[in-house]
Amino acid sequence: MIGKMEEVVLLATIRAGAGSLPSAIYEQIVATVPAGEKEPAFGAIYTTIMRMAAKGMLSEGSKTDERGRPRKSFTVTADGTRALQAGLSQTAALGGFTLRGALA
C-alpha cells in the first residue's frame, strides 16, 4: 500500500515523462495544487522520490541539465505501476459514494 504523497509522485512522474528530473516532477505536482492551498515543499517531494527509488518504484538514471551538470532522473518501474494501480483501485472501490454528507 502506498501513501497519498507516493501516489501523487508516481502520477506526476508519469505525466512528466520517462527520465524526469525531480524539478519536472515537482512542477507537475505544483501545477495541480488548488488556488489558495499551500504548495508542498520541494524537499518533501525530493525525499519521497528518493525513498520510492530505494523501494524500487522509481528507477534512477542520470542526465545533464542545460548547464551540462549531471542530474538524477527518474522513471516509474513496473513495481511502481503495480503499486499505483492497487492504490487507485482501492480509492475507486471506496469512492462509490458521493462526498456530500459522507464527511459531515
pLDDT (0 to 100) of residue 59? 98
Between the CA of residue 62 and those of 11, 18, 20, what are the distances in Å?
20, 12, 9
pLDDT grade, residue 76 (50/70/90)? very high
99, part of any domain: no
The owner of cell 538514471 is 61
pLDDT higher than 90, residue 103: no
104, part of any domain: no
pLDDT grade, residue 98 (50/70/90)? low
pLDDT grade, residue 91 (50/70/90)? confident
**For residues 33 and 7, what is the distance between their CA atoms, to the nearest angstrom?**
15
100, part of any domain: no
Q: Is 40 exposed, middle or buried, given 0-12, 13-18 or 19+ CB atoms closer than 10 A?
A: middle
38, part of any domain: yes
pLDDT (0 to 100) of residue 57? 98
Share of the chain above pLDDT 70, in %: 91
Query: Which structural domain range is residue 29 located in?
Result: 4-94
> What is the count of structural domains for the chain?
1
